[in-house]
Amino acid sequence: MYPYKELQNIINNEIEQLNFNIEPFELYKPIEYVLSGKGKRLRPVLALIACNLFSDEINEAINPAIGLEVFHNFTLLHDDIMDKADIRRNMPTVHKKWNDNTAILSGDAMMIKAYEFFFFLKPEILSKVLPVFNKTALQVCEGQQFDMEFETRINVTAEEYLQMITLKTAVLLAASLKIGAIIGGASEKDANLLYDFGINLGIAFQLQDDYLDVYGDVKTFGKQIGGDIVSNKKTYMLISAMEKANYEDKKQLFELINSTDIENSRKIKEVTEIYNQLNIPLILKNKLEYFHNLALINLKQIAVKDESKNILSQLSKELIIREQ
Amino acid sequence: MYPYKELQNIINNEIEQLNFNIEPFELYKPIEYVLSGKGKRLRPVLALIACNLFSDEINEAINPAIGLEVFHNFTLLHDDIMDKADIRRNMPTVHKKWNDNTAILSGDAMMIKAYEFFFFLKPEILSKVLPVFNKTALQVCEGQQFDMEFETRINVTAEEYLQMITLKTAVLLAASLKIGAIIGGASEKDANLLYDFGINLGIAFQLQDDYLDVYGDVKTFGKQIGGDIVSNKKTYMLISAMEKANYEDKKQLFELINSTDIENSRKIKEVTEIYNQLNIPLILKNKLEYFHNLALINLKQIAVKDESKNILSQLSKELIIREQ
């Protein structure tokens, strides 16, 4: 099995070699800019790992893996316009560096470009893989829509929240694994087990993201700390706090959410204090562990030798304790 | 050969049967809204006609034809945000009726949805057709980027303009024909001839659009008259006027373009008067006729009997004298 670092390097090298120095420059430069921001490359690496579980030959999966990364970065680009986010991976977002129109159009071009990387597949594989990718891409949009709607809704249940992050985050991790597995020649059963593993891992991953948004370090996290609190995102933290809070705490939380004139730093500080009092970090970590365990159960059932699966069980552990 | 009306009805019936009554409603309702605005359905009808040129069986082409229409409507949706257009097909645009975020995200979902309609094709055909569609989709984005850049550039040549409308408008008409032809079993040569026919027809089509923007009737045209003049679009009208104008006219045109406090109706009236004086409508019509003739030459070379081609030569005539 290839180690994570090596797969990440393969992806980074391939992305570096993409030529975006073409006209119209204003359309392609932002795409290059977004892709040059070194993320974890989690989705393409998962695709390659999944392929590698079933085949020693991973070359076929490299282009589709790039397609998954390009698609993921497209969603970040458009989400950042909608969320009015200024910073991503310690860099100004595209709509800040350029403008909204550029961000919309370069995002569109990026999404279309993502499909191109799948066309290297043989026809029979292409027509298996593309519907998986396409359904997932649509679900990611659905997740973003729910996420936006939740911002202005008062009551969002934990269940609704988990459903939303499944769509917005988990399905793409799951699909990356499934696509890699299909290309590697996995049975339908194993490909679906990897998909389920990805769903559960993805939920745990997003819960850690929610945690880091409040308790992370701005330098390692790469995003503004407390961004979710400022924008009243109904994260698992806030939903759990609302559920657990007594009358006084709940009243204070509502006041903080509804106040329009409070300074951001004070809002972040006071909401965080309520989270601390209510032990929300522990509640979140327990939930995260629950989904992590489900993921490991899925992994166990896959019909390849345990040795090969170690990279995924190890990776899942690292992802849920990560600081960035 | 199926007549245009019948093919249009097939497309309209299929689109009406699409179910967008699914959650999240805020994501899918705008898509239904946009698709319910009865356009000409030109792209899908062209795909069906092209298929029908080579095959009596057009069923295989219906879904991809819908995909082309969905894609086209996606581009209108996002373009209308970027162009700040309030009305389209006599209806408020999505970002006006809902908001910018909804228009961005529903547009994204719509673009992804467009691909879905191609997955009904057999693997071998799918892997021939999708790269044609994908390259075209990217070119349409490039065209929109050039179009936006031209708005703030002083010197745009007629050649650059024709290149821009080729990307923004003509390639999708051309690709619709080519895709239909491939599905119908055309030879590569005939599929490419139809593509070229589509490019030349598309340019003529857009020139007529430029004409209608100034000389059309708001009721039949479905868009605000003079919109291009107000937004300083470097259309073929304006570029030709700049080329033909004497010192005085040119000065007046520059003043009209650069003035920020002039009333829209006055700006439209005065620019139109200059166009009239300089005989710009005639110059445009001559250019349009030139591309129309090129299209007919392409059509002539296609290896099917003339009788079958009549529908396309007839349609091309109607398109370039259309009032809407």
Domain with A165 in it:
4-320
- ipTM of the modeled complex: 0.94
Which residue type is seen at A260?
T
Specify the pTM.
0.94
pLDDT string in tens for chain A (324-residue length): 899 999 999 999 999 999 999 999 999 999 999 999 878 999 999 999 999 999 999 999 999 999 999 999 999 999 999 988 888 888 999 999 999 999 999 999 999 999 999 999 999 999 999 999 999 999 999 999 999 999 888 889 999 999 999 999 999 999 999 999 999 999 999 999 999 999 999 999 999 999 999 999 877 766 778 988 998 889 999 999 999 999 999 999 999 988 889 999 999 999 999 999 999 999 999 999 999 999 999 999 999 999 999 999 999 999 998 877
Using DSSP's 3-state secondary structure scheme, residue B25 falls into helix
DSSP-derived letter for residue A27 is H
Q: Which two tokens stand for residue A210?
A: 């929610």
Of B33, B129, B120, B25, give the one whose Cα is nearest residue B73: B33
Could you please report the per-residue DSSP string of A232-279? T---HHHHHHHHH--HHHHHHHHHHHH-SSS-HHHHHHHHHHHHHHTT
- The reply to whether residue A131 touches residue B119, judged by beta carbons under 8 angstroms, is yes
B111 closest CB neighbour out of A108, A119, A126: A108
Q: Which two tokens stand for residue A183?
A: 């290309």
How many domains in chain A? 1
Query: Which of B27 and B222 is assigned the larger pLDDT?
Result: B27
pLDDT in the model for residue A232: 86
- The reply to whether residue A115 touches residue B119, judged by beta carbons under 8 angstroms, is no
Closest-approach residue (CA) in chain A for B127: A123
Note whether B27 contacts A: Cβ–Cβ < 8 A.
Answer: yes
Per CB-CB distance under 8 Å, the chain A contacts of B119 are: 127, 130-131, 134
CA distances from B305 to A28, A184, B311 (A): 44, 48, 12
- The reply to whether residue A24 touches residue B149, judged by beta carbons under 8 angstroms, is yes
Asked whether the beta carbons of B308 and B53 are under 8 A apart, the reply is yes
What is the rounded distance in angstroms from the CA atom of residue B231 to the CA atom of residue A11? 43
DSSP-derived letter for residue B233 is -
Matching residue, tokens 């991790």: A173
B84-131 confidence digits (pLDDT tens): 888 888 899 999 999 999 999 999 999 999 999 999 999 999 999 999
A169/chain B closest Cα distance in angstroms: 16
Of A206, A251, A247, A213, give the one whose Cα is nearest residue A229: A213
Query: Which of B322 and A293 is assigned the larger pLDDT?
Result: A293
Q: How many Å from the N-terminal Cα to the C-terminal Cα in chain B?
A: 25
Return the CATH number at B173: 1.10.600.10
